[in-house]
Structure 1
Amino acid sequence: MDDVLRLDAVGQAQAVRDGQVSARELAEAAIAHIEAHDGALNAVIHRRFERALAEIDSIPEDAPFRGVPILLKDLGWRQAGEPYSAGSNVRDGIEPGVDGYGVVRLREAGFVMLGRTNTPEFGSTITTEPVAFGPTRNPYDPAYSPGGSSGGSAAAVAAGMVALATASDGGGSIRIPASLCGLVGLKPTRGRVSAGPAMGEGWSGFSCAGFVSRSVRDTAAALDVVSGLYPGDPYDAPALPGPLAAEVGREPGRLRIGFVARHPNGAVPGSPELTEAVTRVAALLESLGHDVAPDGPRALGEPGFAQQFGAVVANNLAAHVASLGELRGKPVQPEELEPRNAAMLAAAHKHTAADHILATQWVDGFRRRMAAWWGEGNDLLLMPSLGVAPFPVGWIPPDDLSTAFGRTGHAVAYTSPINATGQPAISLPLHTTEAGLPVGVQLVAAAGREDLLIRVAAQIELVRPFEHGAMR
């Protein structure tokens, strides 16, 4: 059974169809693996094992992922009647009344939802250490962070509990945990996956839903399951030429790829390990026949970006906290929040409605300035997935906010601009530090070109197979 658990989700689904293992046996094996290994990691904060097993018999035989276990991030990905904390004690007793559209599609595809994974409070930082549930630890080294905000999902997949877990990315929250846990993590184009029915968009469109996985084909197939426009969605992503799963193995052609190994904003410190990771992958891409050169959008280094991005996020946090107060019938007090979020709430309360609109308009201009680089004939941008080297649990201090915000800003320097532009980006596990910790690199495509990312990622995976050294 361990051999089946080591398969990716597509492989596990095939094993069930072939009769190599039953759907129930596969789910029971995943449950046993969670029970055996999660105590040291704290990745799964809510377990629904009995309910999940009871649901297996009702899964249609022809469901493409029949019996494949999956874990849901406890932020977004709402499941009716199940606890939903978003990493905070403030939500105690507030359960979703309906499934999110993504959860509906996962169920229809035959996935067995075993539980929910840890996340920082409201997903507002890049490490998973909420006061409400305690820290999640990296399977490669428990002293280190798995990243955030999808840290629980990434730790669970890296440890072999499940082959696939849901995630979301508002400033790097898919790509950063994927980088730190040696996984594939694709942030899709804005609007590719619906945020409904509970909301139209997250963080004014910065946040997108996706997955962390161990293979490119899993990422492609899972996004095929959940992608699509629903009535009332605020916008739709550009149409793809066909299923993303069909792009795996398809020749990408000769591409023009720019790479950035050091951030153009001199305030972001460089890291030799990140520079080495990018330059090695640039050489690999060149060996595959692509035209690769040090180049990137001039707008990437604009010093005003962090302030405008942060203002939009803080304003969205304030709106979310206000809505929680309405749901529970009494306002949320700042002392109920972690210090980081209380500080962001205080900052937002100093902003006017006009300030928020002006910030979003600045981001609109930034999006156009960034897009101009792709409009000049460039296909992909190669950058680090994370602006700092792998870091230990506690590196983002909960009470020293100046240090916390400074370190977070450096960490998301390569990811948050792509949330602002709404473009797709994929992190791939292609480097390891001398200490044995994974380091990812990301490829960024023009809006709507997830198909190109999947083609190139699969091309890389074929010649440089991903290693998953934390699987137990």
Structure 2
Amino acid sequence: MTATTRVHAFSDDALGDHDAVELAGLIRTGELSAAEVEAAAVARLGDVGRRLHAVAHEAYDAPRRADSTDDDTADDTALRGVPTLLKDNTDLRGMPTNHGSEAIRARPAERDGRYTTQYLSTGMTVLGKSRMPEFGLNATTEFRSGPPTPNPWSTEHSVGASSGGSAAMVAAGAVPIAHANDGGGSIRIPAAAAGLVGLKPSRGRHIDGESARALPINMVSEGVVTRSVRDTAVFHAALERHWRNPALPPLGLVEGPARRRLRVAMIMESVTDAVVDVPTKAAVERTATLLEEQGHTVEPVPIPVEARFGDDFLTYWGMLAFLAGTLGRLTMDRSLDTTRLDGLTDGLRREFTSGGWRRTPGALHRLKRAALTYARVFDRHDVVLCPVVAGVTPPLGQLSPNVPFEDLVERLRRHVAFTPLQNITGTPAISLPMGLTEEGLPIGVQLASAYGDERTLLELGYALEKQAPWPRIQGAAPL
């Protein structure tokens, strides 16, 4: 890999290399104007957004700004004036929602989605929508016929998915924070691929989007990808000002590490029997050493779910693809043309209709039971440490929807081997950028905690960020 394959927009303009919290503070004090910051973001998006094919819909001429009609506390919002992108599976009034699919040509949404209102309540300015793979089913942001969204750290490699466009634009410095959601790893996988922080919150921590509410098992969590732990912490604290789930302990604003010492379970076995590659294993072990240096206790433990978990998750995944293709005209957009679905969606649908549907009742029963089994880990431990994915993000093409279906599914099983567990159990997990390969590709490491305990994950994130600062795309060297 040569230096020319790394793409970023960091410069000495109004955005600089500030994170979202610092930008909001500079706007609040008048050192920068929101208009200056917005103009700098539009310029950067116009540059690297096109080079990385990461923006699905542009709203540069008519951005959606926070105003008093969106939220009564708009003048005091934590991230007021910070530029951002919304993912292309979430409705924003006046913009189409194509769900990353070439099979949909949606009309502009007539109203904001349920979650969009909460997202806008933070005060951020939406400049467009980020690209994603079809219906969020793949682990790479690649398409049936359109250009892929590559990784800004190396344009020969995948930026992960399904929040790949958001991850690419945050990693490349076009915006400091962008919307992401996670139904099988779609916040954490692109965060790991792009050297970012990605928190998947507990089920119910936010307002659920329209599609998530109808799922037999609600796997989807909303959030963001960021370059700093404090951006993630401030964002989630800001969401609670708009709405907080009374069934969960309040998260509040987490501002730094805690002093308490934790019991950490290290898991290297995957839910799909995938083998963890050498660089990823080394990054997890290095993180374990750092945690021990902080005074925590780390011990290896076996994977706490049934052996059939991976197969059951794939059965459920196939059911979701079947529902997207069968009911998509009602649930997404009536322009859906099933003859234009990509190879992964079509293959999953065919697999489901050819016999997968018979396995679904048993699979759903076992998946729901997995939450009880997984919860026992936290009887003796406070946190789980494990990889995000089984290996370094792959070259473009390896997970393309144009790969023959059987080969693609097997490759996905070998790669997406850890993240689905938290989606099924509804528990929180965070991806942190804990290393680089010799070639300069980021490696993410995952920390997970008990249901409702995002606070511990953010506190550990602060401590690790201070102890071993994240690699920077601007001239970063391998560790």
Which aligned pairs between 1:29-428 and structure 2 lie closer than 5 A? 29-52=40-63, 60-75=74-89, 77-131=90-144, 133-197=146-210, 199-201=212-214, 204-227=217-240, 238-243=247-252, 245=253, 247-260=254-267, 262-263=268-269, 267-299=273-305, 302-326=306-330, 332-333=337-338, 335-350=339-354, 355-375=359-379, 377-397=380-400, 398-428=402-432
Which shows bigger deviation, 95-104 or 269-278?
95-104
With 9-18 and 49-58 compared, the bigger mean Cα shift is at: 49-58
1:438 aligned residue = 442
**Cα separation, 1, equivalents of 2:152 and 2:371:** 36
Letter in structure 1 aligned against 2:398: W
| Contact map agreement 1:240 1:451 (CA 8 A) in 2 | no
Identity of aligned residues (%): 32
Give, in whole Å, the separation in 2 of the partners of 1:471 and 1:82: 36
Q: CA deviation at 1:320?
A: 2.3
Q: What is the rounded CA distance, in whole Å, between the counterparts of 1:313 and 1:108 in structure 2?
A: 32
Alignment partner for residue 463 of structure 1, among 460, 463, 467? Answer: 467
Change in 2 beyond 3 A, CA 1:51/1:265 = closer
Q: Which amino acid aligns with 2:53?
A: N
- The equivalent of 2:6 in structure 1 is none
Aligned length: 460
The separation in 2 between residues aligned to 1:198 and 1:241, in whole angstroms, is 25
Q: Provide the secondary structure at the position in 2 that maps to 1:279.
A: helix
| Cα drift, residue 99 of structure 1 | 1.0
C-alpha separation in 1, matches of 2:33 and 2:372: 51
**Which letter maps to 1:263?**
E
TM normalised by structure 1 equals 0.91
Code of the aligned partner of 1:90: A
TM-score by length of 2: 0.89
Pair 392,332 (structure 1): closer, same or farther in 2 beyond 3 Å: same
Q: After superposition, what is the alpha-carbon deviation per residue over 1:93-143, rounded to whole angstroms, capped at 9, x for unaligned? A: 344332123321232322100001110001101000123642001111111
2:13 counterpart of 1:2: yes
CA contact (8 A) 1:106 1:225 kept: no
Report the CA distance between 1:403 and its aligned residue.
Answer: 1.7
Unaligned runs of 5+ in 1: none
Report the Cα distance in structure 2 between the residues aligned to 1:465 and 1:364, rounded to whole angstroms.
38
Change (3 A) 1:373 1:365: same
Task: Classify the secondary structure of the residue corresponding to 1:165.
Answer: strand
Per-residue CA deviation, residues 6-36 of structure 1 (Å, 9 max, x unaligned), is: 1111111001011111011100010011112
Report which stretch shifted further, 155-164 or 125-134. Answer: 125-134
Distance 1:53 1:165, change over 3 A: closer
- Residues 465/304 of structure 1: CA separation in 2 closer, same or farther (3 Å cut): same
| Structure 2 residues not aligned, in runs of 5+ | 1-11
Q: Deviations over 1:70-90 (max 9, x none)?
A: 011112x32122011111122
Judged with a 3 Å threshold, the aligned counterparts in structure 2 of structure 1 residues 134 and 202 are, in CA distance, closer, same or farther, namely farther
